[in-house]
Chains A and B, each alone.
Chain A
Amino acid sequence: MSGPDDIAAPPPDRNYLAAEYVLGVLDPAQRREVEARISRDRAFAREVAAWQLHLAPLADEIEPVEAPRYVFTRLQAALFERKRRGWLDDVVVWRWLSAGAGAVAAAALAFAFVASRQPPAPTVVAPMVAAINLDDGKPAFLATIDLSRGTMLVLPVSAVIPADKAAELWLIPPGDKPHSLGVVDVSHPVSVTIPPALRNAVTLKAAMAISVEPPGGSPTGQPTGPVIAKGGISSI
């Protein structure tokens, strides 16, 4: 701090800048100026640090207030589950939304998904989703797949099947025959347990389909009625 600069009195305002910054009375432009100076002027940075220590005990007087629990949930989601949060940006999802179909369903699905992640699973497996679409491209069902739990949440969007029939969900690994994942409901979300033997077959290369079957599902173990919807699996 010694040198020719010390001879000339600094502009009076600058004498207080460090203290004023810490106190919090500066306007945004001045605050940015101070921050820039902190990063290039070590003596000034020390001055700011000294004021922080000087005034810190005042904060003891501020009463702690418990923050709502969801703040921490949101924080964790933002920090550690960015991929998952970002899945609404996914092209596939937006295609559903812009098609005007399934907006509510997608939102519900996103919510169900986030809710199902609390507390976070100990093993991290990239989650996957499937859009099982009708021939016109509209989703009949949406599914989120949680391989760490071996489950799949299947949400009906716009599937319509005859009242005396059932909708059966199929997993079709590449080059393989369809494997049944059971009957799904056309009016309510269903959580499907993926049979352990099939878990390795749930990959981005597999396809999923819905066929119309007798109540209770296909009697043969293979689709017997028309396939009304199909789709691929994508990662979130």
Chain B
Amino acid sequence: MTDETDIAAARERLRDTLVAVAGGDRAAFATLYKLTSAKLFGVCLRILGKQGDAEDVLQETYTTVWHKAGLYDPERASPITWLVMIARNKAIDRARADGGEPHAAPIELAADIGDTAAEPAASAEAADSGRRLDDCLKTLEARQRQLIRTAFFEGVTYENLAMRSNAPLGSIKSWIRRGLMKLKACLER
């Protein structure tokens, strides 16, 4: 309960800060950076691998935030979700622009053990979207889950995943797509 209250309070604070940033408040911008930049830098670094690129993208991200904070809609997403989305998009664009994919480590695909029997949590926990996603991911085949997670964290292309896992591109696509559709059905249940 305390945790949830804390999380709600932190979210509230970030929301107020973003609103102030939208109004051109530089002190609020510094606060926003202080509260969120480590998270966004972690996101950028994970996708880009290189420290310098991640620093550049972090700067670009907050530049966009400064100019576009007014577009943030609290009804649609939490502040951190919105910020992470901007950072991921920029990091992915940067990774693609650079051509050289930063991620090349082989991926050992999990054996296809068929659908697990796990069922999504009941509605009592549905409010906790993190738990819900986790539960729904568990209903996927192991390699679907693995590929979706890798794609999200590293922001890599189908081609990159196919090359690294030494699997046909078509298979990678269809595993991920089927996984996504199953995920969606589970999450929207």
Contacts and interface: CB of A to CB of B under 8 A. Distances in A.
Contacts of A62: 39, 42-43, 46, 153
A160 interface: no
A63 B66 CA distance: 24
A52 B77 contact: yes
B14 interface: no
A177 interface: no
Interface stretch (A74-82, A93-101, A224-232): A74-82
A65 B45 contact: yes
A56 interface: yes
Given A49-B76, A52-B77, A67-B55, A19 B180 contact: yes
Interface string B73-88: 0001110110011001
A23 to B, nearest CB: 5
Nearest to B95: A24
Interface residues of A, number: 38
B184 A71 contact: no
Interface string A22-35: 01111110010000
Interface size bracket, B side: 35 or more
A41 to B, nearest CB: 17
A25 B156 contact: yes
A64 B42 contact: yes
Chain B interface, >50% SS class: helix
Chain A interface, >50% SS class: helix
B161 A28 contact: no
B79 to A, nearest CB: 11
Contacts of B180: 16, 19-20, 23
A65 B130 contact: no
Contacts of B59: 71, 74-75, 78
B152 A67 contact: no
Interface of B: 26, 30, 33, 37-39, 41-43, 45-47, 54-55, 58-59, 62-63, 66, 76-78, 80-81, 84-85, 88, 92-93, 96-97, 129-130, 132-134, 148-149, 151-159, 161, 176-177, 180-181, 183-184, 187
Given A19-B177, A25-B176, 11 more contacts: A15-B177, A25-B151, A25-B158, A31-B93, A54-B187, A56-B85, A56-B129, A62-B42, A64-B38, A67-B38, A71-B55
Interface of A: 15-16, 19-20, 23-28, 31, 49, 51-68, 71-72, 74-76, 78-80
